[in-house]
Amino acid sequence: MASDIAHVDTSPNPRNLSAEEDAARASKLAKAGDWSRRAPLLPALIFVIILTQLPFVATIVVSFMNWNAYYPDERGFAGFDNFARVFTDSNTRNAVVVTILLTVLVVVISLVLGMAIALLLDRKFLGRGIVRTLMITPFLIVPVAAALLWKHALYNPEYGLLNGLLKAVFGDNAPQPEWISNNPLLAIVAALVWQWTPFMMLILLAGLQSRPLDVVEAARIDGASAWQIFRTMTLPHMRQYIELSGLLGAIYVVQNFDHVFTITSGGLGTANLPYFIYQTFYTAQDYGRASAAGVVVVVGTIIIATAALRTAFSLFKDEN
């Protein structure tokens, strides 16, 4: 019996496998466990690929073709001609300039107003929760509905709120300007700022609430003014939050179509790149050129989104 006990294998590797074989077996088991966790997500992944990536691949293919519905017999391979036309056409350049100007104005103004509102909402006062909820309401409105609200309820020269306020303040002889006709781009900017300021405010308010309050209180006790605290402590702490909100806002504003289409229909020099693509595809029916412009917009958006993700990851890394 003693000899039987002596021959019992008590090692952790009952099959006498080598170290390499044991590591390979453990790696296979780990991979099997990973796939068992990922398998339920495969249908959703396949659905997303079919819904987003296949149309984008088709758009890339069409962007290299000479395809205009008005000239069906001339359809064929065009190489980079469509991209050359996108970068050399005067209408396209104007659309690029309008897109950049619209994005910069909306993002900068929204950031400034969002910071001011966030600083106010960071203070304690009666009804702060209700005020915060009301402040994010514009961001929750459907963009087309918000654009229609500004076009008809505010800008209309006959029954709009803005001209009604002018008449109430200055009487019947008050000027009744055509807000959209006189300042078309600023009319779109104002509507977008109204809708995107709450988005900026939410991110900046989260950044303000993550400040080390003990350090701020110590600086206040030492005699630092509110402006000195904001300039030397609050603003450096908020840098990454400002970058993140600005980049995320730029991603959405660059792709804005609803306000341009609803308020001005792309007229009066307000056609941005998304509206230019719509005109090229729907009105001119030049599918190749419209696809090339769409690819350019997607690439630009990916660049901005990559910068936004890097900023977000660095922010989370610093917090951890």
Domain shared by 47 and 165, yes or no:
no
pLDDT at residue 132 in the model: 84
Domain shared by 54 and 180, yes or no:
no
Q: Is residue 244 part of a domain?
A: yes
Q: Is residue 66 part of a domain?
A: no
pTM of the model: 0.76
Which distant-in-sequence residues (6+ apart) come within 8 Å of 81 by Cβ?
66
Domain shared by 18 and 147, yes or no:
no
pLDDT at residue 11 in the model: 47
Q: Is residue 67 part of a domain?
A: no
pLDDT at residue 5 in the model: 45
Q: What are the backbone angles phi and psi of residue 65, rounded to the nearest 5°?
A: -115, 150
* pLDDT tens over the chain, length 320 residues: 444 444 444 444 445 556 666 666 666 666 666 666 777 777 887 888 888 788 888 888 988 988 888 887 878 888 888 888 888 888 888 888 898 899 889 999 999 999 999 988 888 888 888 888 888 888 888 889 999 999 999 998 888 898 888 888 888 788 888 999 999 999 999 999 999 999 999 999 988 888 877 777 887 887 878 888 888 888 888 888 888 888 888 888 888 899 999 999 888 889 988 898 888 888 878 888 888 888 888 888 788 777 777 766 666 565 55
Domain shared by 20 and 93, yes or no:
no
For residue 199, the tally of other CB atoms under 10 A from its CB is: 18
pLDDT at residue 263 in the model: 93
Domain shared by 268 and 128, yes or no:
yes
CA–CA dist 152, 159 (Å, integer): 8
CA–CA dist 60, 100 (Å, integer): 24
pLDDT at residue 169 in the model: 86
Domain shared by 54 and 130, yes or no:
no
Domain shared by 113 and 220, yes or no:
yes
Tokens of 237: 């702490």
User: Is the distance from CB of 256 to CB of 274 less than 8 angstroms?
Assistant: yes
pLDDT at residue 149 in the model: 92
Domain shared by 142 and 100, yes or no:
yes
Q: Is residue 110 part of a domain?
A: yes
Q: Is residue 75 part of a domain?
A: no
List the one residue out of 263, 264, 290, 294 whose CA is nearest residue 279: 290
Domain shared by 213 and 153, yes or no:
yes
pLDDT at residue 316 in the model: 57
Domain shared by 49 and 107, yes or no:
no
Query: Residue 190 belongs to a domain with what CATH number?
Result: 1.10.3720.10
Pairing of strands 65-66, 76-77: antiparallel
Domain shared by 140 and 221, yes or no:
yes
Domain shared by 244 and 99, yes or no:
yes
Print the domain residue range for 28. 11-61
Secondary structure class of 257 (helix, strand, coil) = coil
pLDDT at residue 318 in the model: 58
Q: Is residue 128 part of a domain?
A: yes
Number of domains composing the chain: 2
CA–CA dist 164, 168 (Å, integer): 6
Which distant-in-sequence residues (6+ apart) come within 8 Å of 265 by Cβ?
none
pLDDT at residue 1 in the model: 44
Q: What are the angstrom distances between the C-alpha of 194 and each of 60, 72, 75, 141, 318?
A: 35, 45, 45, 11, 32
